[in-house]
Amino acid sequence: MGIIVAKFGGSSLADASQFRKVKSILFADPDRHFVVPSAPGKRDSDDIKVTDMLYTCYNMVSAGKISLFEETFAMLKTRYLEIIEELGIDLDFTAPLATVHDELLSGASVDYAASRGEYLNGMILAAFLGWEFIDAASYIFFDENGQFDAEKTQELLSKKLKDTSYAVIPGFYGCNPDGSVKTFSRGGSDVTGAIVSRAAFADLYENWTDVSGVLMADPRIVKKPKRISVITYRELRELSYMGASVLHEEAIFPVRMAGIPINIRNTNAPEDPGTMIVRADASHVRGAITGIAGKKGFTAIAIEKNCMNREIGFGLRVLQALEECHVPIEHLPTGIDTMTVVVADSNIAGSIDAVVEKIRATCNPDHIEVITGLSLIATVGRGMVRYPGTAAKLFGALADAGINIRMIDQGSSELNIIAGVESVDFERAINAIYTAFTK
């Protein structure tokens, strides 16, 4: 007997038939004690998420467009009432809907507005399951600076959950020190799921969505990529940073701290094992990679100076130039006489000339070149660490495909090899790497 926290995303709770799937998943294992729902998501690609409707409601009230507010609110109301009616739950939703309506109309905050999607959905789910409803605003706290207050939350929420056997805790929001509602950033129900898992001292955090786990590469680039069965938190972080969208970025920290594994599962295919995200895993195949992710839109500033390594403070002055222009750096591959700074286009737009000028003035380089139109590709895998041959395979695959590598960076963790290629080669490069490691 253990404790499982199950978070269900918006598409898993988009209508009554999805609610039924959720119920049968929850009731299939009595260890599933706590459930964290999102607001109803899209039923099809043309549909509107309830959270988006709520943001519209807020914007319409702010703009004084009351009839448009009423129209949107009526749509939202219909979505909830349809779910209740189709599920046949004995729940009078008139009062909760009226309260939300009146609060919005009288100028409630944008966070209050957005949070009501999860709040109302949580009430319906609790009634459908016959479980207790725990309002997240009473147990998830933010501090004076608007940061999540992990300590206070852990203390009060764990006390509450210890005395609760089965409950629904809506995702996405908590409360400010003054008691007003505050949301996490978009997709934040993942974070709530992680916080609840830690507070419940859970053995497993299940994150139910509409895909059967994390894929080795973006399916829009690689045709039918394989599913990753096990990935470590660190690998996932590397892949997510490079563009793989799996979980909300902040959802990893609370469970990672507590060493609770995350299982990404598919509500529409509950028999699929999904992907396990764990702290460490020894079962990996030597030399195998876990996944590939990449992003377009980078610029490299390549600086050359004879014997720069002997010049104390050279690197510092390069970085100072970027700091003074408020440009964060992504990567910093260095050679004996070269140092390259890779930055995201979005961060350096408009200040590239100023940065180059500053580096020229303070570092007096022999040569400085700005390379634009770069893409970065991260090949990530705990199986690569300390096993020779991975880099050769990777670069061999790119060479065989006739792809010019403009930059290489292997972090000291040896978990990740970053290759910079021209953006025109981006998709081909990812396919070449994927094929080399999966054939």
| Site of interaction with ligand ASP (CB under 6 A) | 10, 38-39, 49, 51, 117, 171-172, 186-190
Nearer to ligand ASP, 51 or 347 (CB): 51
Spatial separation of the C-alpha atoms in residues 357 and 404, rounded to whole Å: 28
* Mode of pairing for the β-strands spanning 181-183 and 262-266: unpaired
Sort 43 into a burial class: Cβ within 10 Å, 0-12 / 13-18 / 19+. Answer: middle
Q: Cβ of residue 183: shortest distance to ligand ASP, in angstroms?
A: 8
Q: Cβ of residue 344: shortest distance to ligand ASP, in angstroms?
A: 24
With CA atoms as reference, report the closest residue to 427 among 266, 222, 185. 222
Nearer to ligand ASP, 49 or 198 (CB): 49
CA–centroid distance for 334 within its chain: 30
Cβ atoms of 70 and 40 closer than 8 Å: no
Q: Looking at 27-177, which runs of residues are DSSP E strands?
A: 32-37, 132-133, 167-168, 173-175
Nearer to ligand ASP, 181 or 289 (CB): 181
Q: Cβ of residue 165: shortest distance to ligand ASP, in angstroms?
A: 25
Q: Cβ of residue 280: shortest distance to ligand ASP, in angstroms?
A: 28
Tokens 């809506």 — which residue? 170
Q: Cβ of residue 80: shortest distance to ligand ASP, in angstroms?
A: 14
Q: Cβ of residue 192: shortest distance to ligand ASP, in angstroms?
A: 8
CA–centroid distance for 171 within its chain: 15
Residue number with the shortest CB distance to ligand ASP? 189
Cβ atoms of 391 and 409 closer than 8 Å: no
Nearer to ligand ASP, 175 or 301 (CB): 175
What is the C-alpha radius of gyration for the chain, rounded to an integer number of angstroms? Answer: 25
Spatial separation of the C-alpha atoms in residues 123 and 237, rounded to whole Å: 33
371-374 CB contacts, 8 Å cutoff, 24+ apart: 371/299, 371/300, 371/301, 371/302, 371/406, 372/299, 372/345, 373/422, 373/423, 373/424, 374/298, 374/299, 374/300, 374/342, 374/406, 374/407, 374/420, 374/421, 374/422, 374/423
Q: Cβ of residue 207: shortest distance to ligand ASP, in angstroms?
A: 10
Nearer to ligand ASP, 187 or 213 (CB): 187
Nearer to ligand ASP, 117 or 294 (CB): 117
Nearer to ligand ASP, 50 or 202 (CB): 50
Nearer to ligand ASP, 267 or 416 (CB): 267
Spatial separation of the C-alpha atoms in residues 80 and 82, rounded to whole Å: 5
Give the dihedral sign, CA 379/383/384/389: negative
Q: Cβ of residue 326: shortest distance to ligand ASP, in angstroms?
A: 29
